[in-house]
Structure 1
Amino acid sequence: MDHSTESPFPQPLIDAFRARPDAPAFEYRSRPVARGEVLELIARCAHALRAEGLGPGRPVTLATGVTPEAFALRIAAHLLGCRVTGLPPGLTAHQLAHVLTDAAAVLVTDESTEGLQLPPAAEKMTRLRLGPDLLKPGSETIAPDGLTALGRPDDIALINLTSGSTGRPKGCAQTYRSLTRNWAWQPARWTARTADLAAGYSRYLLFGTLTSAVIFEHLGLSLLGGGTAVIPAPPLEFPRVFEEHRITACLLTVPRLHHILDALRTEPVDTSSLRALLVAGSPLAPHRLAEAVDRLGAAVHHAYGQTETGMLTLLTPGELAALPREELLTRTTVGRPLDTVELSVRDPEGRPQAAGETGEIWARTESAMTGYWQDEEQTREVLRDGWVRTRDLGRLDEDGLLRLTGRSRDVIIVNAVLHYAGAIEQCLAGHPDVDQAYVAGAPDERTGEAAYAFVVPVAGRTPDLAALRARVAAELGEASVPAAVTVVREAPLTPGGKPDKRALLAAFLAGGEEREED
């Protein structure tokens, strides 16, 4: 692809804000914040950071909330060419000790992180407060028309931390070159498909954390498409927040979608403003996707991606509408690859599979990470000749749609035989009395490991546990039947909003979960 028309990240955003300084960039707790005002914030933050000696290649760590000021700080650090690490909420003291090891870094906090308990190693870091130190009234600043991106293409621009579900978060390192070529942040790369999606982001609901790779990616799509990021006062009440703020676009985890659909069964809420309701983050059962289409119509999009790669696939409302009803209810899909993405399904030896065959999904995109920060072993494992091994299982059908079937590492070894948790979960979730299904493994003295299943029933129904076990035996074989099937009211969530199977299993093994079990 010809990259001659591409401006280095984040210059396209600066140029877009200069072109329309009076247009709102944010609506923060009902107050419009103009793009020109955000440029002023960026300029003041850039001047203050530069006064601390920050510039190309220098590290800065951000522990800030979701505000226009926090966004301006992030963009200012990138303009200077810094190596930016964002601290997501919910990190444990152990995880912070693993992450905050660079004493040369400047740590910036704000009022939302006042109670952050820092490990001893972080005490040597230079610490700044976003308000008092970086945005002093009357302080010197850089003229907004002098804001120019200084990032060097091969320098690390961003370290996105993974969820830490394995105990220690991994840092996905992206260069300034990869951010420049990101599908959302580089309008020069937008195709008609991307522009159509951006058109629905005129009022993008922004919540959670700016450290999320997917949230930040779609924030860029909204702002560069001329939209406004809406940040309501907490707490957010879903789905009423859509009606109250006339939201047109929102990113949702699967558990949050479940909550919204359950509420819409009894609550009359006007969701007609929605144009792009994008669901991602974990598998979505086919019957729930069908219900979302029935209740929310042409706003529903389904997507798939990773912190390591950014968004990879998208299922649009038009593609959903074209699926036969029977297929929509029985075979879930996360759509087709983005125009900037190439996917390949491989066998365990890395050989490409034919269409329709299941294997590990490999992805190639110019905006992928360059590796895991300070972890060469994991980097060699995941990056192969320009491809990223997603460690997810699936297949690319003849129609070009990607269908996920589980995680290659989410396996349970029973009597020396591998059983994929995702396959068992999909089998259980296909029962008409089951709304959600989760499977996890635990050590077992007799079989090495044992599989434990947890099902959330459809409202008003009581699953027959014997029938669920029989269903798994019929579809996957007797050896795949879980050692126990437990009915739970809901699944706990990780800090990132995904179902927490570890917590379900721990509660079960401790005997502290209210449940019905076979």
Structure 2
Amino acid sequence: MELIGRCAHGLRAAGLGPGRPLTLATAVTPEAFALRIAAHLLGCRVTGLPPGLTPHQLSRVLTDETGTIVTDESTGGLQLPPSAKETTHIRLESDLLVPSAEAATPGQLTAQGRPDDIALINLTSGSTGRPKGCAQTYRSLTRNWAWQPARWTARTAELAAGYARYLLFGTLTSAVIFEHLGLSLLGGGTAVIPAPPLEFPQVFERHRITACLLTVPRLHHVLDTLRTEHVDTSSLRALLVAGSPLAPHRLAAAVERLGPAVHHAYGQTETGMLTLLTPGELARLPREEALARTTVGRPLDTVELSVRDPEGRPLPTGATGEIWARTDSAMAGYWQDEEQTREVLRDGWVRTRDLGHLGDDGLLRLTGRIRDVIIVNAVLHYAGAIEQCLAGHPDVDQAYVAGAPDERTGEAAHAFVVPVAGRAPDLAALRARVAAELGEASVPATLTVIREAPTTPGGKPDKRALLASFLTGEGEH
């Protein structure tokens, strides 16, 4: 509370208050967390800068309207683009954390955020284009499922009970990281911030971690390491995997190696976490069901899901269509992008642009992304369906499909596969598998075997980098 008081006093002295814009470029530290809380107490409009933004992306985010930016020791050398020439620059350590007799006391820290003001602008990962700013009001921020213990159901409380020692790393600008930080702290847990560099899975043993969020590529690394090294992971109670599709055999391998700690989740920056597959639900799925382990779980108690056709009409249970979501803590729209907001927000619902279906068991199964399509000879092919088909081959560990312009067919699909350790996939057999399951027209124009997939700064597979390496002749063939 003392750190929050210092930050609140310093921000107020700099002219910050309700509705005022504030950009944060800070590392994962207790001080940075205190700064974030202080900014919200003052009612600021907070934008967090995730690591890895390109100069072009930075210039799009930072403008004269940025107002004030706070950096810390890790980001103090941040070069502000010309578009932010009027921005006020504050240093966290030297300008806000210095002891002051005038710093606010806990009793003086009253929330000033106005319900309909924008509280937070979370930037999307940019995996499908340039990062967009998901604007969330103070009203929706206060209704977030993780930050309101009074609204926790038994299911949420059970999840929070596993967060006694939550591994906090990456960036506080991540919507999902911050959600689960609230789950830990408000459930009586501790956020553990290890000194860099982080080694996975060794960090679990070293700090007796009970809860952690992992992207799919990082889970791959953890499982690959555990094949050859003994690491004690017995402290884990809630290992939540999310961020991108997870092949069924990898989820099965994670459960076999890590036991009942493994959870699978699905969500978006626009909505927060939407579904959760718990170990108990996973164990109850029928093993003979081919798609059983592709589910991302059951909607949270604060979430309503609907599967719609291209015209937005609800589809019956079991039918595949676009997933629409409704939740109190969803974004109010994309910051300064009315066209995209109108496209995504419809009468209180958020169009996820993801494809899937809800089963009779209430579980959601995803099959691809609406925007992740490749148009070959004027016919739409969903990359997700081809990836799932390839990853289902016993010699394939991971599969990625991306489209590129083609003079003959308009676009062409290019596939990249990571083989199971010690195996060499027969590319002809892979092509035959796709043809048999999806039709000859869905067979990728090229198939490339790679050792591993590159990742974005946010930890997701970077299909653009894969495609670029292939097109420039730098990849493996």
TM over 0.5: yes
Indicate the residue corresponding to 1:307 in structure 2. 269
The match for 2:372 is: 410
Asked if structure 2 preserves the Cα contact closer than 8 Å seen for 1:95 and 1:167, the reply is no
* 2:394 match: 432
- Which consecutive aligned stretches of 4+ in structure 1 deviate over 3 angstroms post-superposition? 326-331
1:155 pairs, out of 100, 113, 117, with 117
Report the equivalent of 2:448: 486
Alpha-carbon distance in 2 for matches of 1:331, 1:58: 46
SS where residue 111 of structure 1 aligns? coil
- The CA deviation string for residues 274-327 of structure 1, in whole angstroms up to 9 with x for no partner, is 000000000000000000000001100000000000000000010011113333
Q: Which residue of 2 aligns with 1:176?
A: 138
What is the CA-CA distance between 1:137 and the residue it aligns to? 2.9
Partner of 2:201: 239
Q: Does 1:393 align with 2:355?
A: yes
The amino acid across from 1:43 in the alignment is G
- Following superposition, the deviation at residue 331 of structure 1 comes to 4.2
1:197 match: 159
Amino acid corresponding to residue 201 of structure 1 in structure 2: Y
Counterpart residue number, 1:339:
301
Partner of 2:178: 216
Does residue 136 of structure 1 match 2:105?
no
Equivalent-residue separation in structure 1 for 2:404 and 2:309 (angstroms): 27
Equivalent residue letter for 1:252: L
Q: After superposition, where does 1:33-52 map in structure 2 within 5 Å?
A: 39-52=1-14
Is residue 280–residue 304 contact of structure 1 (8 Å, CA) maintained in 2? yes
Q: Is contact 2:64–2:86 with CA below 8 Å preserved after alignment?
A: no
Summarize the Cα distance change of 1:207–1:182 in structure 2 as closer, same or farther, 3 Å threshold.
same
1:139 to partner: Cα distance = 5.0
2:73 to 91, 111, 120: 111
- Which stretch shows the higher mean deviation, 122-131 or 226-235? 122-131
Please give the alpha-carbon distance, in whole angstroms, between the structure 1 residues aligned to 2:408 and 2:290. 40
- For the 8 Å contact 2:21–2:65, the answer to whether it is kept is no
Work out which of the residue numbers 49, 53, 62 in structure 1 matches 2:15. 53
Instruction: Return 5+ residue gaps in structure 2 as ranges.
Output: none
Whole-Å Cα distance in 1 between the matches of residues 292 and 450 of structure 2?
A: 23
Q: Does residue 1:363 correspond to 2:325, yes or no?
A: yes
Asked if structure 2 preserves the Cα contact closer than 8 Å seen for 1:59 and 1:104, the reply is: yes
- Does structure 1 conserve the Cα–Cα contact (< 8 Å) formed by 2:115 and 2:137? yes
Aligned equivalents of 1:414, 1:498: Cα separation in 2: 26
Q: Per-residue displacement from partner, 1:389-432 (whole Å, max 9, x unpaired)?
A: 00000000111110000000100000000000000000000000
**1:321-358 per-position Cα deviation (integer Å, ceiling 9, x unaligned):** 11133337764110000000000000111111111110
Distance between the aligned counterparts of 2:278 and 2:293, measured in 1? 16
Q: Contact (CA 8 Å) 1:286, 1:328: kept in 2 or not?
A: no
* 2:63 counterpart residue number: 101
Cα offset for 1:123?
2.6
Instruction: State the secondary structure of the residue aligned to 1:131.
Output: helix
The question of 1:62 aligning with 2:24 is answered yes
Change (3 A) 1:376 1:348: same
Number of the residue aligned with 2:88: 126
Q: Which runs of 5+ in 1 are unaligned?
A: 1-38
Query: Which amino acid in 2 is paired with 1:356?
Result: G
Aligned partner of 2:316 in structure 1 is 354
Match of 1:507 in 2: 469
Deviation at 1:124, TM superposition (A): 1.4
Question: How far apart, in 2, do the equivalents of 1:331 and 1:55 lie?
Answer: 48
User: Is residue 403 of structure 2 the alignment partner of residue 441 of structure 1?
Assistant: yes
How many residues in Structure 1 have an aligned counterpart in Structure 2? 477
Partners in 1 of 2:291 and 2:132 — Cα distance? 36
SS at match of 2:23: strand
Partner of 2:337: 375
Contact 1:287 1:329 in 2 (8 A): no
Q: Determine the C-alpha separation between the residues in 2 that align with 1:254 and 1:277.
A: 12
SS of aligned partner of 1:462: coil
Give, in whole Å, the separation in 2 of the partners of 1:374 and 1:490: 37
Q: 1:83, CA displacement in angstroms?
A: 0.3
406, 409, 416: which one aligns with 1:454: 416
CA shift digits 1:248-289 (9 cap, x unpaired) = 000000000000011111111111110000000000000000
The letter for the 1-side match of 2:396 is V
What is the rounded CA distance, in whole Å, between the counterparts of 1:433 and 1:119 in structure 2?
Answer: 47
Tell me if 1:473 matches 2:454.
Answer: no
C-alpha RMSD over aligned residues: 1.1
Shift of 1:437: 0.2
Do 2:285 and 2:292's aligned partners in 1 also have CA atoms closer than 8 Å?
Answer: no
Question: What amino acid does structure 1 have at the position aligned with 2:328?
Answer: E
Question: Aligned equivalents of 1:268 and 1:254: distance in 2?
Answer: 21
SS in 2 for 1:282: coil
Report matched runs for 1:266-305 at 5 Å.
266-305=228-267
Does the 8 Å contact 2:76/2:91 carry over to 1? no
Tell me how far apart the structure 2 counterparts of residues 109 and 240 of structure 1 sit (CA, whole Å).
30
% same residue: 86
| In 2: Cα distance, 1:167 partner to 1:309 partner | 18
**Distance (whole Å) between structure 2 residues aligned to residue 51 and residue 193 of structure 1:** 43
Call closer, same or farther: CA 1:279–1:354 in 2, change over 3 Å: same
Contact 1:64 1:70 in 2 (8 A): yes
Task: Return the letter of the residue paired with 2:289.
Answer: E
Instruction: Quote the Cα distance in structure 1 between the aligned partners of 2:381 and 2:16.
Output: 50
The separation in 2 between residues aligned to 1:303 and 1:67, in whole angstroms, is 26
- Which amino acid counterpart does residue 284 of structure 1 have in structure 2? L
- Given that 2:5 and 2:106 are in contact with CA atoms closer than 8 Å, whether structure 1 keeps it comes out as yes
